[in-house]
Amino acid sequence: MIGSARFGSLLVALAAGLAPAGREDPGRPPALATLREVVPGAWAWRPTRAGMDAVASCGGALATPEGLVLVDACANPKGLSAVLALVAEVSPAPVRRVVITHPHEDHEGGLPALGADVEVLRHPLPSADHELAPGLRVLHPGRGHTDSDLAVLARTPGGDVLYAGDLFVNGYVGYLGEGHLAEWGTTLRALATLAGGDARVVPGHGAVCGVDRLGFYADYIDDFRADVRRHFEAGGTVETYLLPARYDHLGARYFLPENVRRARALWEAGEL
Ligand SMILES: [Zn+2]
C-alpha cells in the first residue's frame, strides 16, 4: 500500500504518464481519461493531464458473455466514474467484476464508484492461472512490483491483450519501493511467454505497446539491480548512486531515491 504522504509524490510522478491531450470543448470540463479499443471487445483507458489525480493509472474493460470485467479502478471515485462514462459510450453491458492488479491507491481508490454487486478480485485467487471467463485469465506470474501482483490476459478472435498492472510501466523508471528486485525480471519474462509475442500490452502507466517492451523492462530491472549492487559493494551509498545514463530517457525519476533505498534494504538483507 502506498501511504497518503507517499501518494502525494506519486501523483506528481504520474503527471508524466498522461495520454496526449484530446480536443477540448470549451463548454465542457476536460476529459479525465481517454479510452481506446485495443482489439474488439477489449478497451484500455489512460489518464489525461486533467485526470492525473483522479484517474492516475491505466486500466481496462473487457466484454464477456456475463458483462464487463474491469481491470483496476483508478485513484478515486471521481476518476472511475469518468472512466465508466467513457465505457458506457462503447458498451451497454453492466460491469460485473473488477480485477485489482495490486493494492496501491492509484489503482483501487475508485472502487466506491462501483455498485455493491460488482465482484472484486485480488491476489490470491484459487490458482496462479485462474480462468475468469472463456479466453480470459487472471495470472499471478510471481512477485515483482509488489508481492501480490496480478495481470489479466484476454485471448480474443481479434488478438490478445495483456493488462500488466505495475509489473510493467512503459517509459518510466517505475516505483520499485516495494519491489522484489531479484524476482521481478523472471516474473516479467514468464508473463511475456504466457502472453505470446503478438499480444498488445496495457501497462500500469504509459502507452499501449507490444510484448517486447516487457523484455526491455525486465532487462532494466536486472541491470539496475546488478549496477546498484556493485555500487554498494564498492562502498557507495544511497545518496551517491546514479542510474546509468543509458536510462536517461525513462521518466518519473522522482522515484529513484526510493528505488535505491529499497535496493539498499534488499542488499543488506542478502536479497538483492
Ligand atoms: Zn503500483
Q: What pLDDT, on a 0 to 100 scale, did the predictor assign at position 23?
A: 58
Confidence band for 155, pLDDT divided at 50, 70 and 90:
very high
Q: What are phi and psi of 155, to 5 degrees?
A: -105, 120
pLDDT tens digit sequence for 172-203: 999 999 999 999 999 999 999 999 999 999 99
Confirm if 86 and 59 have CB atoms less than 8 A apart. Answer: no
Distance 167 CA to ligand 1 centre (A): 8
Confidence band for 29, pLDDT divided at 50, 70 and 90:
confident
The SS3 assignment for 65 reads: coil
**Residue 92 CB-half CA count within 13 A:** 0
The SS3 assignment for 262 reads: helix
Closest CA to 86 of 15, 31, 18, 30: 31
Distance 145 CA to ligand 1 centre (A): 7
Which residues, 6 or more positions from 2, have their beta carbon under 8 angstroms from its beta carbon? Answer: 10, 104, 105, 106, 175
Distance 76 CA to ligand 1 centre (A): 15
How far the first Cα of the chain sits from its last, in Å, is 21
Percentage of residues in the chain having pLDDT higher than 90: 89
Distance 175 CA to ligand 1 centre (A): 7
CA 34 to chain centre: 16
Ranges of beta strands (E only) in the chain are 33-39, 42-47, 59-64, 67-71, 95-99, 119-121, 129-133, 136-139, 151-156, 159-163, 200-202, 209-210
How far apart CA 237 and CA 148 sit, in angstroms, is 29
Distance 106 CA to ligand 1 centre (A): 7
Distance 264 CA to ligand 1 centre (A): 20
DSSP state of 83: H
CATH fold, domain 4-268, is Metallo-beta-lactamase; Chain A (3.60.15)
Distance 103 CA to ligand 1 centre (A): 7
How far apart CA 253 and CA 22 sit, in angstroms, is 26
**Ligand 1 ion local residues (Cβ < 5 A):** 104, 166
Cell 543488506 locates to 268
How far apart CA 77 and CA 73 sit, in angstroms, is 8
pLDDT tens digit sequence for 89-141: 999 999 999 999 999 999 999 999 999 999 999 999 999 999 999 999 999 99
DSSP state of 247: G
Distance 11 CA to ligand 1 centre (A): 12
Distance 269 CA to ligand 1 centre (A): 23
The SS3 assignment for 9 reads: helix
Quickly count: other Cβ atoms within 10 Å of residue 156's Cβ: 16
The SS3 assignment for 240 reads: coil
Distance 234 CA to ligand 1 centre (A): 31
Distance 147 CA to ligand 1 centre (A): 11
How far apart CA 132 and CA 99 sit, in angstroms, is 10
The SS3 assignment for 251 reads: strand
Distance 57 CA to ligand 1 centre (A): 9
Distance 1 CA to ligand 1 centre (A): 8
Q: How confident is the prediction for the chain on average, in pLDDT? A: 93
Residue 64: is its pLDDT beyond 90? yes
